Structure 1
Amino acid sequence: MSVFNNVEFRRTFFGLLLIFIIRECEASVKPSGPSLVKALVGTNLTLGITYTVTEPLVSWWKDSFSIATRTVGNGVPPKIAPQYEDVLVLNEDGSLSFISVTLEHSGIYNVTLVKVGAEQGDASFTLIVYDKIEGVSLHAWPNNAVEGSGNFTLYYTTLKGEAEEVQWFLNGKELQDGPHYSMSGKNLSIIQPNRKDTGSYNVTLQNPFSFGTSERNITVLYGPDQPALDVSPTKDFFVVGESLSLSCGARGEPLPSVSWAFMGQAVPGSQPGTLNITNAQTNQSGDYTCLLKNAKSGAQLNISVTVDIYESPAGGPACSVHAVDGSSALRYRCWWPGGTPEAQLSFPDLSTGSTAFGELNVTVDDPQSLDGKEVSCLIRHPVHQSQCNITARKTAGFLPSVSATVNENGRLVASIRCLAEAVPNATVTWARSGQNVSSLSGHEISDDTTWLHIVNFNISTAGLHTYKCTAVNPLGSQSRETKLSGPAISDVSLFPNEEGTVITLTWEVPPTAIVTGFDIQMKGPDLSDPSTNKTVSHSARAKEGYGTIQVKGGSSRSADISGLDPKLRYLFRVVPIAGRRAGEPSEDVAAGPGGGLSGPAIAGIAAGIPCGLLVLLILCLVFPCVFYHKKRKREARYPVSPVSRAVEKAVTTMTLPHLLLTGGLKMPPDYSLHQSPSAGRSGPLPFEVAPVRMATTV
């Protein structure tokens, strides 16, 4: 054990000795803390070092100037440069301490260690001394920033302290150095400022020991922009006696001033930006000039407009075409009366030589070639040239429309309308089954001849008559026939919402059907009222059959029904009504779970399944028993030894109860136990009643 300890001791000793020798040969030195030291003015601090040699010569330098020297461990006081004697202390361990550091002590400090027989060691420190930031203010040069001019600069000053970090903001958004904003030192330069640079500028200064900020609002001067000169109302010319106003303005900062001139002469008493002219006269026609000026930047622009004032016809030109009474001719008319001078009118498409002033009428005896042709009336006036157009057309294709109402006497009124597109308007004549309706009672024609009203219309005879309308104008005619029919539904559809609680029922009606209303009917469970969360009960007949839940007018083609339970099934249909008579209901449409059996039928089947299974089970148990007894009956006709009978009974006793008990039933009594065995008896045993007793037992 001692030998081992001696060996270990020697190894440790020589290892430490080797390390000591190596360290003595390498005079390495390094900071004991951060090499970058930041300090506040007036505080104390130490630049600490660590090294690997003993009693080295430590020298401290600042900007290549020796400030302190000492040999560590020899007891000799350090040498301090005279200008640093009141501030620096070179400690016995070689570290350098500052007492009440000042801004002038900021700089780079180098330390060297020299040991005889060892390499020189070096380390470096950077000391930055800060004062607290106070009195930050922003300044501008030049005083005004003008859009499009040279650079505009903001710079900050402080009463005390310097910033380590500077940030510039415009309206709360940090600015970045780039082609438009240039940041250098204490300056922010705006390259070619524009109106978007207007806003609140803020500079934020920060060092490790304090924070400061300052704000300044900058307005970039611009304008006047391209001015806008508007004449109100907007017209090519003005009529004597009218009033008008001229408004002029342009964007700018500050807002440009406005002055007016008429034909080169200043207009006295005009309001800035607006010039009003009331009761205009012809001598006020001419050029009006608007002059705009930026008071701060001195920039100015002007713009002019010419105002023409004439006496012209009131209103505007108009054209029309009419049928000449008692003939197939057309009369084209164009007019624009009044004015000085009167407007000259012409129809060059109808007659090259016909002109007139104020009003012009041209009659065409054979107008067939003018069907669909646009005819223009040209209007000539010293200050106005225009035209109005009119196109004559024969009756175009049309379809009669049918409607029905109930009048104040409760009578059903069926109405047919034949409205044909034609210029001039077509005159409509009516006939029923070839007979003119004007001679028929109960038939009324509207003043414009486009409506035929059949009073007290009889649904029962709806299909017996054909009504014919003929639309006529000088260019042609067209006829259409209509046979009215009773109330009917041609198509019905149902659209539920995503939740299945609301449906929209839509339907269509044949175009010739007479309908005054609709009954919306439903069959199914009760609906609920969404506004009160209460069930809306219907009659028992409505639940088992159809019941009316809504009544709609004759023009309706849809109905919304709410309060449905999406888990239940409902049937809906629409019944058309004509007066007091109902037509055939529409086909049924269903809402809720898909088609199939109704709810009661499904419930009945569900209830019958257990009963059916029980009947099948009974049949499965009864038939084996019947078969067994019949077999015994056949075997009993022949002599059977007592032994065989005993064996048979034993088999029956062990097998039959098992079959019956598996079905959950009691074993029927064995009637053979009540008979005395007889070897010579071959007659039938009393098993004929066994099936009846077994069925009764089950």
Structure 2
Amino acid sequence: MTLRYGSVHSDRPYSCYARHPLQSQTKTCKITMDPVSKPEVVVNDAYPLEGSTVTMHCNLQSGTEPIQFLWQYKALSGNTSTFAQNTSEITLTVQRRDTGWYRCLVKNLVNSVQSDQTLLNITYGPEFPEIVVTPLAVAERGHVALEQETVSLFCKAKSNPPSQYKWFYNNSQVNTGPQFTLTDILRTQTGDYTCLAQNSFLNTRSKKSISLTVYYPPDGLPSCSVESTFEHTYLRLFCTWPGGFPTPTLFWSGDLVDQEAVNPKTNTAILQYSQGTASNNSQFRCQGSHIALNQPTGCQVKPYSPAGEPQCSAYVTSNTQTLMLSCSWDGGHPKALVWWRVQASRAKVDRRHPTS
């Protein structure tokens, strides 16, 4: 007699009768078909480390053979698949993608039963952290921020169980949790920021550091000045704007002989006025800009010559022993240089000094 799976009854036995011509009595035998009991999945490690080996058993108390086994896996996404059959024991080398629910199904000629789901939770990490800086600005040596900005640092490191986070500023702990916010950041907060990710279950850790530089503007406004140089045959223009990081950009404009005369390192410009390139109407402007300021700013200077002509005078000292000569040419910016020239019998003597 051939029976199909699931068509056999278990409430009464099946009897087999046999007779032989040389035997006077009919022989019998009986078989009772027991249903399979509800199986149980037993795992040697429910929280295995990624890359380790896990063994799962499908245990059941009773059931008449032959018994068939079927293994199913339900991913965290909800998708269910069959990955093994015809065995009550499976061995897996697990990866993080194997995290999910596992169960076994058993059946014989009488019935079929499935086990409860068992969670297999693969542990790993933390991996090398990733730090996201908002707003994002990157320079040659790391991240940058403008003074008085609000800067957010967010750290993420893949891990199971999820990572726990600590923040360090120049090796001193300043915060816990994945996000660290610096409100109205100051120039004194320039430095190294480190995110430490920890997996307390595995007692593992990983960290990453970034360099954050705070840009800040110079103090006040640019300052313009002018002086004579090369024995009062040239004008030297000065533009200074101290402080600030990085160094501000300064640019001279005006009636310059050649814009290449501007020295970007000293922020000075030299103008030769003896050739008529500058007059009392010449005006020069220094424009300053800085990455931490929204608008450029500047200063201006207007050199001019003294009015009239030099004034010469002579007077005798009180003891009538000395004759004093005086020469002045007041006004002008910068001040004029005056000197006396004395024609001697054999040599010419110059005595020069700026007017006071």
Amino acid at match of 2:195: C
Which has the larger share of helix?
A: 1
* Aligned residues of 1:169 and 1:175 also touching (Cα < 8 A): yes
Give 2:133's match in structure 1, choosing from 224, 228, 231: 231
Report the equivalent of 2:124: 222
* Equivalent of residue 353 in structure 1, options 245, 261, 265: 261
How many angstroms apart in 2 are the aligned matches of 1:206 and 1:184? 11
Q: Distance in 1 between matches of 2:250 and 2:41?
A: 74
- How far does the alpha carbon of each residue in 1:92-150 deviate from its partner, in whole angstroms, 9 at most, with x for none? xxxx5313x36xxxxxxxxxxxxxxxxxxxxxxxxxxx4211232222111313222x1
Note if contact 1:260-1:290 (Cα within 8 Å) is conserved in structure 2: yes
How much has 1:285 moved relative to structure 2? 1.4
Match of 1:283 in 2: 188
Which of 259, 264, 278 pairs up with 2:166?
A: 259
The answer to whether the 8 Å contact 1:170/1:200 transfers is yes
Cα distance between partner residues in 2 of 1:225 and 1:231:
19
| Matching of residue 141 in structure 1 with residue 111 in structure 2 | no
Q: 1:353 to 1:253 in 2, by over 3 A?
A: same
Q: Is 1:45 aligned with 2:15?
A: yes
Q: Which residue of 1 aligns with 2:34?
A: 131
- Opposite residue 131 of structure 1, the aligned amino acid is D
| Higher Cα Rg, which structure | 1
Q: Deviations over 1:645-674 (max 9, x none)?
A: xxxxxxxxxxxxxxxxxxxxxxxxxxxxxx
Is contact 1:243-1:278 (8 Å) kept?
yes
Compared with structure 1, are the counterparts of its residues 312 and 146 closer, same or farther at alpha carbon in structure 2 (3 Å cutoff)? same
Q: Which residue of 2 aligns with 1:168?
A: 71
Q: Deviations over 1:133-192 (max 9, x none)?
A: 1232222111313222x1122222223225622111112633334xxxxx673123222x
CA–CA separation in structure 2 for the residues paired with 1:355 and 1:346: 10
The answer for the alignment partner of 1:327 in structure 2 is none
Q: Is contact 1:312-1:338 (8 Å) kept?
A: no
Structure 1 segment 418-457 matched on structure 2, within 5 A: none
- Post-superposition Cα deviations, 1:291-345, rounded to whole Å, max 9, x if no partner, equal 101122223211111111231379xxxxxxxxxxxxxxxxxxxxxx997242245
Are positions 1:295 and 2:200 aligned together? yes
Equivalent residue letter for 2:87: G
Alpha carbons 2:194, 2:207 under 8 Å: kept: yes
Q: Do the aligned partners of residues 205 and 168 (structure 1) sit closer, same or farther apart at CA in structure 2, a change above 3 Å counting?
A: same
> 1:291, 1:252 → 2: CA distance?
13
> Counterpart of 2:261 in structure 1: which amino acid?
G
- Report the counterpart of residue 97 of structure 1 in structure 2: 28
Deviation of 1:206 after TM superposition, in Å, equals: 0.8
Task: State the distance in 2 between where 1:184 and 1:344 align.
Answer: 82
CA–CA distance in structure 2, aligned partners of residues 343 and 165 of structure 1: 82
C-alpha distance in 1 between matches for 2:56 and 2:68? 17
The separation in 1 between residues aligned to 2:133 and 2:34, in whole angstroms, is 66
Matched residue, 1:27: none
Q: Secondary structure at the match of 2:154?
A: strand
Between the aligned partners of 1:75 and 1:47, the Cα distance in structure 2 is 13
Secondary structure class of the residue paired with 1:229 = strand
| 1:523-582 Cα shifts (integer Å, max 9, x gaps) | xxxxxxxxxxxxxxxxxxxxxxxxxxxxxxxxxxxxxxxxxxxxxxxxxxxxxxxxxxxx
Q: Structure 2 CA distance, aligned partners of 1:234 and 1:291?
A: 21
Cα 1:260–1:184 shift into 2, 3 Å: farther
CA contact under 8 A between 1:245 and 1:276: conserved in structure 2? yes
Confirm or deny: 8 A CA contact 1:346 1:356 kept in the other structure. Answer: no
* In structure 2, C-alpha distance between the alignment counterparts of 1:196 and 1:47, rounded to whole Å: 56
Q: Name the % identity.
A: 18
Structure 1 counterpart of 2:154:
247
Q: Distance in 2 between matches of 1:164 and 1:346?
A: 94
CA distance in structure 2 between the aligned counterparts of 1:251 and 1:292, rounded to whole angstroms: 9
TM-score, normalized by length of structure 2?
0.55
Q: CA RMSD of the aligned region, Å?
A: 3.9
- 2:46 & 2:198 partners in 1: Cα distance? 20
State whether structure 2 residue 4 is matched by structure 1 residue 73: no
Cα deviation, residue 244, structure 1: 1.4
- Residue 265 of structure 1 and its aligned partner are, at CA, apart by 1.9
Normalized per residue, the structure richer in strand is: 2
Displacement of 1:207: 0.6
Which amino acid in 1 is paired with 2:98? D
Greater RCO structure (CA 8 Å; 6+ sep): 2
SS at match of 2:188: helix
Closer, same or farther: CA 47–175 of 1 in aligned 2, 3 Å: farther
Question: How far apart are the structure 2 equivalents of 1:203 and 1:158?
Answer: 10
Gaps of 5+ in 1: 1-32, 49-69, 78-90, 103-129, 178-182, 315-336, 362-378, 385-698
User: Contact (CA 8 Å) 1:138, 1:157: kept in 2 or not?
Assistant: yes
**Amino acid across the alignment from 1:45:** S
SS of 1:196's partner is: helix
Counterpart CA distance in 2 for 1:380 and 1:240 is 16
- CA 1:298–1:175 in structure 2 vs 1: closer, same or farther (change >3 Å)? farther
Gap regions ≥5 residues in structure 2: 220-240, 270-287, 293-356
**Secondary structure, aligned partner of 2:217:** coil
Distance (Å, rounded) in 2 between the aligned partners of 1:197 and 1:139: 17
Amino acid at match of 1:228: E
